[in-house]
């Protein structure tokens, strides 16, 4: 994919990232070879300072694995994750520990990601105590209360436990914990999927406000394209561990090229009843194939209305530029 010049600093440059897992064979024979599950199979992506990269796709397409490989929670099989010019996959020891201050994560289940035995204050303070042990208790408490106020939590709940809060409040606690170290980038792994629609909007708007105030960069993973459209500057559409379309959000949403992206777009409800009834829904046939045994050639061909014989023989590569790129033998960006 061709690069385009930009005035913004390139923070993250993911190059041909692969995450493969060895799965034990179910065969009765002990000498049977393990299967190779291709959770992420060669993804390129870029994230610039102050921008949001939205990652979207069906369940099982590799979005969360992609995010966890960036931060190092799962080991990359191949490829590079270049952060400010240095490959995170090759970092060790002190260097990796220092870099982790700049990259934080918000998880999907707000309550499950918080230690039930710790108070809210202790949960938010834990990163400070880990990375800045020289701070005294009063300094830590002051920073924690300041951050709680920033995410919309009253300071007087600092000694309460996670089970005493709603899902939306727990996600605010998770956001406060991620922000307490003043990171440059936060990976949001489906942070609103477990919340009610009205609470989703509050959390998304909070993230946008904090991004503008603090100059954050976000990798935002979601199923909901309306959420992705609202928050993203750039979009990566994934299918079965592969990138099928990517580029600037306005280009993707105004003129989706790939049949998979078009199908996802058509499934988004329109508030206007007349427009909703009149729109054409592009249905996908069949189920998502197994990443252990993906289709030959183009991984989307078994569900694609444009598929021909060549799609089974040739795997398409992503073609285009930073504004709009697509991976399809029958479509050009």
pLDDT tens by residue, 268-324: 777 767 766 777 777 788 788 888 888 999 999 999 988 899 999 999 999 999 899
* More confident call, 23 vs 143: 143
Given a cut of 50, is residue 17 above it in pLDDT?
yes
Domain range for 221 is 7-23+35-102+185-197+215-333
pLDDT tens by residue, 166-213: 888 999 999 999 999 999 999 999 888 877 878 888 889 999 999 999
Which CATH number does the domain housing residue 60 bear?
3.40.50.300
Report the C-alpha gap between 48 and 248 in whole angstroms.
12
Mean pLDDT of the chain: 88
The pTM of this model reads: 0.89
- Whether 72 is covered by a domain: the verdict is yes
Given a cut of 50, is residue 240 above it in pLDDT?
yes
| 41-45, 109-113, 218-222, 313-317: least confidently modelled range | 109-113
CB contact at 8 A, 325 and 333: yes
Residue reference for tokens 């060549």: 310
Q: In this predicted structure, what is the pLDDT of residue 197?
A: 79
Tokens describing residue 176:
């406060």
Q: In this predicted structure, what is the pLDDT of residue 193?
A: 82
CB contact at 8 A, 39 and 19: yes
- Whether 107 is covered by a domain: the verdict is no
Given a cut of 90, is residue 16 above it in pLDDT?
yes
CB contact at 8 A, 311 and 329: yes
Percent of the chain with pLDDT over 90: 63
Report the C-alpha gap between 124 and 187 in whole angstroms.
17
* More confident call, 3 vs 154: 154
- Whether 130 is covered by a domain: the verdict is no
| Strand residue runs (E) in 68-110 | 78-83, 86-87, 103-106
Residue reference for tokens 């045994």: 293
In sequence order, which residues have a C-beta less than 8 Å from that of residue 278 and are 6 or more positions away? none
Q: In this predicted structure, what is the pLDDT of residue 5?
A: 44
Q: In this predicted structure, what is the pLDDT of residue 29?
A: 65
The torsion region of residue 84 among left (phi > 0), alpha (psi -120 to 50) and beta comes to left
Report the C-alpha gap between 263 and 244 in whole angstroms.
13
- Whether 63 is covered by a domain: the verdict is yes
- Whether 132 is covered by a domain: the verdict is no
- How far apart, in Å, are the Cα atoms of 162 and each of 129, 152, 174, 206? 20, 15, 10, 20
- Whether 151 is covered by a domain: the verdict is no
Q: In this predicted structure, what is the pLDDT of residue 28?
A: 55
- Whether 239 is covered by a domain: the verdict is yes
Q: What is the mean pLDDT of residues 86-105?
A: 87
Q: In this predicted structure, what is the pLDDT of residue 162?
A: 93
64: exposed, middle or buried (C-beta count within 10 Å: 0-12, 13-18, 19+)? buried
DSSP-derived pairing of the beta strands 185-189 and 103-106: parallel
Q: What is the mean pLDDT of residues 127-151?
A: 93
Given a cut of 80, is residue 6 above it in pLDDT?
no
Report the C-alpha gap between 302 and 309 in whole angstroms.
11
Q: What is the mean pLDDT of residues 110-120?
A: 90
Given a cut of 70, is residue 2 above it in pLDDT?
no
Q: What is the mean pLDDT of residues 140-146?
A: 94
Given a cut of 60, is residue 154 above it in pLDDT?
yes
- The dihedral built from the CA positions of residue 69, 103, 243 and 259, taken in this order, carries a sign that is positive
| 30-34, 48-52, 145-149, 258-262: least confidently modelled range | 30-34
How many domains are there within the chain? 1
- Whether 189 is covered by a domain: the verdict is yes
Q: In this predicted structure, what is the pLDDT of residue 276?
A: 65
Give the SS3 label for residue 231.
helix
Residue 253's pLDDT band, with cuts at 50, 70 and 90, is very high
Spacing of C-alpha 178 from chain mean position: 15
Given a cut of 80, is residue 7 above it in pLDDT?
no
| 34-48, 90-104, 140-154, 311-325: least confidently modelled range | 90-104
Give phi and psi for 184, each to the nearest 5.
-90, -30
């Amino acid at each position: 994919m061709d690069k385009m010049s930009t005035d913004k600093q390139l923070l993250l440059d993911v190059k041909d990232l692969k995450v493969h897992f060895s799965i034990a064979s179910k065969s009765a024979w002990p000498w049977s070879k393990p299967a190779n599950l291709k959770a992420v199979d060669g993804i390129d992506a870029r994230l610039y300072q102050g921008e949001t990269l939205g990652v979207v796709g069906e369940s099982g397409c590799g979005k969360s694995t992609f995010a966890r490989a960036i931060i190092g929670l799962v080991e990359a099989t191949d490829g590079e994750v270049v952060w400010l010019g240095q490959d995170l996959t090759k970092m060790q020891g002190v260097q990796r520990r220092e870099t982790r201050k700049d990259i934080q994560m918000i998880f999907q289940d707000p309550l499950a990601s918080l230690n039930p035995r710790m108070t809210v204050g202790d949960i938010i303070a834990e990163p400070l105590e880990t990375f800045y042990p020289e701070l005294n208790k009063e300094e830590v408490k002051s920073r924690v209360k300041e951050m709680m106020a920033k995410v919309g939590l009253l300071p007087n709940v600092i000694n309460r436990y996670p089970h005493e809060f709603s899902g939306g409040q727990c996600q605010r606690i998770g956001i406060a914990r991620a922000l307490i170290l003043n990171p440059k980038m936060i990976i949001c792994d489906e942070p609103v999927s477990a919340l009610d629609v009205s609470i989703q909007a509050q959390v998304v708007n909070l993230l946008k406000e904090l991004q503008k105030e603090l100059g954050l960069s976000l990798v935002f993973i979601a199923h909901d394209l309306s959420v992705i459209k609202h928050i993203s500057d750039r979009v990566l559409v994934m299918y079965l561990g592969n990138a099928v379309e990517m580029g600037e959000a306005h280009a993707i949403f105004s003129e989706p090229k790939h049949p998979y992206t078009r199908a996802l777009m058509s499934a988004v409800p329109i508030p206007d009843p007349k427009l909703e009834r009149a729109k054409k829904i592009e249905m996908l046939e069949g189920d998502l194939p197994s990443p252990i045994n993906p289709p030959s050639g183009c991984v989307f061909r078994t569900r694609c209305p444009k598929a021909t014989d060549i799609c089974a023989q040739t795997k398409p590569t992503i073609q285009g530029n930073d504004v709009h790129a697509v991976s399809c033998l029958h479509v050009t960006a």
